[in-house]
Structure 1
Amino acid sequence: MIHSPKLVDVGSAERCLQHPHNIIVHYCTSHDEVGCSECTSKNHSACAVESVDSIAVGTIDSVEYKHLIKELTEVKHQAEENEKAALDNKLKSDKSLSSTMLDVRTFKNDINAHLDQMEKEIENQAKDANVEYKIAMDEKISESKNVQKNVEKCLKEFKDLETKATRLFIKITRRKMDLLKFRHDSERYKPAPAQCFSFKPNVRLSDIFRTSNNLGKLEIGQECQGLVSVTDPTEKLTVVVNEKQTRRGTNKPVAQKELCSVNQVLKTNEVNSDFGTVMRDSTEKENSKYDVDTNSETNSVVFEDNGGPNLQINADGKLIVKLFSDKEDCDISGIDMISDNELVLADYNNRSVKVLDMIKNKITHEMKLEYHPYDLTVPCTNTVAVTLTNTIQIITKSHLLRLGDSITVDGECYGITSSRTKYFVSFIKPVPKVAILNHQGDVLQTFSSDHIKRLAIKRPRYLDISPDEKYIYVTDFGKDCIIQLSASGELINTFSDASILNGPYGLHVDERGCVLVCNYGNDNIYEFSADLSKHRIVLSKSDGVESPQVIFMCNKEEKLYIASTDSADCNEIQVFSHYECSKL
């Protein structure tokens, strides 16, 4: 339908963009365009043209107008969201940058701390050698002075007798043997050339810094999903931004900037990586790499006893814990889990704490200690507490293992376990007891024969707590028993049967509340109910268990880890997979 143009208020009319002196009066339905009379006559003479005023009637209620308003509103909302997201991304990027740079500084500080530690060790080695040498020289000085003193005495005697020929002759005759002795002593205490120190740098360590131009690699992605530091000491350090995308493999990072590509970073207290060597001992040591022992037979047994079947356990291989640098066979006296893929171990014989990567079956960290470690626990992420005679030593793990604070205790401590706020510690001297300490080392409670009626502890060893922290379980190696205490200090129960327990050592309370005990003397593992009233053998010598010392269960991975001592398996941790069948 064609409408005739109406009179238009020129002041409020829209002007034509092509002919600004004209106002818009027509709409071409064929081209969906508006224009003035001149536009219509030139470009739309053959088209269906209508009056703008006529066709505009009802526009505000039209579907097209409502749809346009909706779309514009959506676009405006999207722009607002984009602005908000961009502002938020700026904050996230700043936060991510701060976190990443903190990781970089932490890594650098760890390296510096490790270098300082290695420098201190080599300095102590050199000083000890110098002290020994000076002691030897002092001995030669002292003996040389004695020779001088005796010779001077002899010369004086001769001088005094020069006017008395007979007595001089007798004295000379008697002193001839002394002269031989003086000459022998003088030659005997003649010092060798002076001790001289020189330094041979660790070539591998030197090559790392000589061939590396950076500290690590930074990957910048489209969206920061979180910062993850790859700390595998056998691979180059990478700080990954946008970890989720790169692991999925769906998107590549938008850009990559290399901070560093150190192919062999300073290996975390790197097993056998020293600062250098004083030439008095120039032996360099190499890292050891181990493979999973897949040749062990796999047995599957369902154990049944008073309460019916409970755990099915399968032999699942072995983890190698001995290092090339270890001077003794291992004696793993403590096990705990420090991360999803890592066990932390106390090696009593080699005076060290080791971190074992279970996926690679490889020791990745080692820290040498001044004293033999008895047991350890992981009270919180990347923190280990180790019992060392009269001290609980804190060790932290980042890229390296580092010594933290130490807690001095009032006796020789042995076993240790922990909760989020407390340590539970057994003491063997001077008074056998169990103590509860906070993480600052303050003693909260003490349980001994002097404090609890009917409690007779002789040689407490390992201990653990129930999942709800209501009970403490302790093995007593001296009385061949297991003791159950309440957290408030009451004796709940004691299991003692010489036909069953023979040297109980390590124990672990699982998430069901059942107690797994290393029965050292009888070469088996016992499982006890929470109240110690029921029990059964779950592993024995026929399963390859011999002289078991410590045990740890990872419920998440459904794995059981057992370390033995005084056996052929002392340099390995036996791994068993398990699953729950029914409650004991």
Structure 2
Amino acid sequence: MPKKVSSSLTMGSDEDYCQPCNHDSPRHPAHDCCTESREHLCKTFTIANKRHTFSRNHTIQDKNSIPQSISSASAYPTQPDKLCPKHKEVIRFYCHDHRALLCCRCVTHEHTGTLCKVDFIPHISGQVINSKEHQDILKAMDNIAEQCRKKSEDVKKITAKSNNSLTDVLADIKKFRREINQRLDELERQAEDAAKTIQKENDKNLKTVETTCNDVTKSLKTSSDTIKHLNTSKLAEQLFIELKIAEQMIKDYEKRVHDLEAYDVNEYNFKENEAISTLLDMERSLGTFAEKSLKQPCPPPPVEIKSRQTSHQGEICVQTSKDDDLLSSCIMGMTLLTPDLLIITDFNDNAVKMVDTISQSVTDQLQLENDPWDVTSVTSTELAVTVRNKQTIQFISVSSNKLEKKQTLKVDGECYGLSYCQGKLVVSFKNPAKLQILDTNGTILTTVKGENIFSRPTCVTSNTNSIYVSDRGMKTIIRINWQGEVIGSYGGMVLPGGTTLSDVGTVFVCDHGRKVIEEIAGDCSTGKVVLKDLNGPKAVCWCAETCKLYFSCDPDQDEDDHFLQVFKLS
């Protein structure tokens, strides 16, 4: 039976009053009902309903003539109505311009048809079931949950490492403490308290990160389960609303996860206070906590390999009167000290040569005992050269355009590739194949080895982010971080050889087997051949200031026996 309108203005159900204005004072009686939105309307809102583009075609009936099943039926039989947070009324509409879910009051007062594109949700929600938007929202939720998991694991690992380093600090403190007298007891306690305070702060910060990540993950799981249920149940309207709410939730949680990046953890070691041994009365601490951040540096942005224009700029003869006429020059390594000064290693002639790129001539030559392989610049006046059979690194000074031997550094194997960056030498070895990172005094800081990583690592180059190893056995360029971890690789080569870094973070690689020089991205994701049909390129060097690429070729090719090739790239 039709439901009658109550005559009371103070008593009666919500259906006796206009729902869009039921928070106004005085409350207006309902006279009509919109069958599409299931809203009871006063005369004013009936007129407004007919004016809006999205609702002008809705069916308006007298409230008393609407069957009970329509007037009181919920649009959401298995899910509670989602209410507008501002007006506390059921959400029925969506504004495309503001990407906002709306109730009837929102539409009437704030998102009018002349200002906004507003749609009635039942009219537009039909295609969200199994839609791309539905899949993208769930995927975005899964991505954030995965970020939380990884972030929590990473912070837990570096926090443990930091705490372990502080444990070592405490052991060093005690060892140092035993070497001095009892007057240092109080200072020892101060140092211990400092370490424990940092550990406590580390653990507190870790708990904050874990709590945040757990909260986000649980919330995403709840929302994701709801979305999946609604999609399976084909409840389009509720699914549409839930997806829009999830959309905003994703933005909020992305910011919360991003804010966790502010948490930094340091590694510590103990530095003794040397003066304390003789000046106990003047000193106030046992030493300091030297910090080394464990936070991983942000990787450089990916570099797109652009197409380059190439032009041959000529060739430079590197044969001298000191060379053996019966042997061809075999240039295995090269480095630039300045745009005008190129240093090369001539393996066959056991020599390090200085090449003036302006006059295109060798201006000095330093003879070594045998087998110089690779060369790198340590400073603007100092070089280092790997001497393979001697298992040494020979340091060479450059002064007044003269090369002079300095100290040598013994290494534990036949050394090949060599690179220098920020106080560290990177050296590659064969038999067994490995890579070592050393300081300039020869102290081994990191060793990377393994038959699954290296086979014949002959050339290396490096920057502050990465070490690039050219491995002929693996036919691959292997990218390693300064902690000795493999973080990328670029395959598809035949006999990769000499490498050099460009000024934009890409790597030029000689592929002797394919007779090409290829430029690969810094993250080893892509590559592009820049020069082809070469006579077995071996060593290569890039000059950023002149945009010139210098490279040597196979000495078995008669026409390239004693020459460096010069190309300009743009």
After TM superposition, the score normalised by the length of structure 2 is 0.45
After TM superposition, the score normalised by the length of structure 1 is 0.44
